[in-house]
Amino acid sequence: MINIETKILETLGKMPKSLQEELLHYAEYLQEKYNQNSINYSSDTDVVNDFHISWHEAMTGQTIPVSQLWEGLEDDE
């Protein structure tokens, strides 16, 4: 069975660069939130499930442009 890292890299290689950049920003966001314990996962399975949902959203175009994310952050200040 192929491990998750291999699957991610294979899928990433098929994506256009613009979508790779969006995914990178989202992955960094998730990692930061995870590190800050803002997302309270009860297990690694929860983390994987959340990533699967996020990956599906990214692959099906259910994304928000990074510029729009910045606008939302600026409004909060």
Position 14 scores a pLDDT of 92
- What residue spans define the domains of the chain? 4-76
Whole-number Å distance between alpha carbons of 2 and 34: 25
The answer to whether 30 and 50 are in contact (CB under 8 A) is yes
Per-residue pLDDT of 46-73, as tens digits, reads 878 888 888 888 888 888 777 777 775 6
**Confidence label for 34 from pLDDT (cuts 50, 70 and 90):** confident
Whole-number Å distance between alpha carbons of 46 and 69: 24
Residue 75 has pLDDT above 70, yes or no: no
Structural tokens at position 46: 């929860």
Per-residue pLDDT of 3-14, as tens digits, reads 888 888 898 899
Residue 37 has pLDDT above 70, yes or no: no
